[in-house]
């Protein structure tokens, strides 16, 4: 099985920490040249230093806020003018927790721009190079909520579902060019976002965070949270030539929690 990404260039969004950084580390280990994108330059600079680098590899970063479409377009347009992107990982922070009945309507617009619109901007910039190379991997980090909505994540459930439908539509149109589009669906993964979610639930229910964590783990057949590296492993595989006939899928990495086939 050929898992080498030597000579391939990857752009990983939201990669200063958490799942995004874990994916960048795995891609780098397989030989890819990685460009990290996120808002905080100080954290990005340290993140780039943490990537494995062998002979011929180089890594860099771009500072961008995915909530600002014009800035996203300017950054990625400048990047593809100098380098073909073979692997694009769309990943961005999720909407805040809360029931959909209490959600500010403007939140839906804000996070639609941050996720669906930014994803589209990134793809439109990278597609010409992928087509010319006859190789493209578009990997979207979404959520298991695209299969079964998650309680207390009303806005997130809505936006994640939109991303999944966008990705499926895209996968049908680009496959003939050697480009695949797939969604990685993390379950409960030990990241800052999970800690914020648990704190929100604990505050709403007036219980201890430890009790929330215990209840969450009890609902996972694996009886533990995922490590970000376990989500990253799937994303890295989907980026390789070995995954060339996997297209248009949404694959959970959730320890068996999602209650659907």
Tell me how far CA of residue 247 lies from CA of 31, 105, 153, 166, 176, in angstroms: 22, 33, 27, 13, 11
Confidence (pLDDT) at 228: 96
Q: Average pLDDT across each block of 10 residues of the chain; the chain has 261 residues. List them in order.
A: 96 96 98 97 96 90 95 97 97 89 95 96 98 98 96 93 98 98 95 84 87 90 96 98 98 96 86
Q: Please, what is the Cα angle at 27 between 141 and 113, to 5 degrees?
A: 30
- Nearby residues of 97 by Cβ (< 8 Å), 6 or more positions away: 152, 153, 156, 196, 197, 200, 201
Assess contact for 209 and 202: CB atoms under 8 A: yes
Q: Where are the domains of the chain?
A: 9-189+227-253
CA-CA distances (angstroms) from residue 181 to 88, 225, 228, 260?
10, 26, 21, 22
Distance CA 111, CA 176 (A): 31
Q: What is this structure's pTM?
A: 0.95
C-alpha span between 133 and 85 (Å, rounded): 9
The pLDDT value recorded for residue 200 is 81
Per-residue tokens: 219: 């609902």
* pLDDT score at 186: 96
Are 112 and 89 within 8 A, CB to CB?
Answer: no
Q: Per the CATH hierarchy, to which homologous superfamily does domain 9-189+227-253 belong?
A: NAD(P)-binding Rossmann-like Domain (3.40.50.720)
């Amino acid at each position: 099985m050929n898992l080498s990404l030597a000579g391939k260039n990857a752009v990983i969004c939201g990669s200063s920490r958490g799942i995004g950084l874990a994916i960048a580390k795995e891609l780098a280990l397989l030989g890819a040249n990685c460009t990290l994108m996120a808002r905080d330059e100080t954290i990005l600079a340290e993140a780039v230093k943490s990537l494995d680098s062998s002979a011929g590899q180089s890594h860099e970063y771009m500072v961008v806020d995915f909530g600002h479409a014009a800035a996203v377009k300017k950054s990625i347009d400048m990047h593809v003018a100098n380098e073909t992107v073979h692997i694009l990982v769309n990943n961005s922070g999720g909407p805040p927790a809360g029931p959909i009945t209490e959600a500010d309507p403007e939140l839906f617009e804000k996070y639609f721009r941050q996720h669906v619109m930014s994803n589209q901007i990134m793809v439109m910039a990278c597609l010409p190079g992928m087509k010319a190379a006859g190789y493209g991997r578009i990997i979207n980090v979404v959520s298991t909520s695209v299969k079964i909505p998650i309680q207390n994540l009303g806005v997130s459930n809505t936006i994640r579902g939109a991303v999944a439908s966008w990705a499926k539509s895209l996968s049908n149109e680009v496959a003939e060019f050697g480009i695949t589009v797939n969604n990685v669906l993390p379950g409960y993964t030990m990241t800052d976002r999970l800690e914020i979610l648990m704190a929100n639930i604990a505050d709403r229910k007036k219980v201890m965070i430890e009790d929330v964590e215990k209840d969450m783990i009890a609902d996972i057949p694996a009886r533990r949270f995922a490590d970000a590296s376990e989500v990253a492993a799937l994303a890295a595989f989907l980026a390789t030539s070995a995954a060339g006939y996997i297209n248009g899928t949404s694959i959970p990495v959730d320890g068996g929690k999602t209650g659907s086939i």
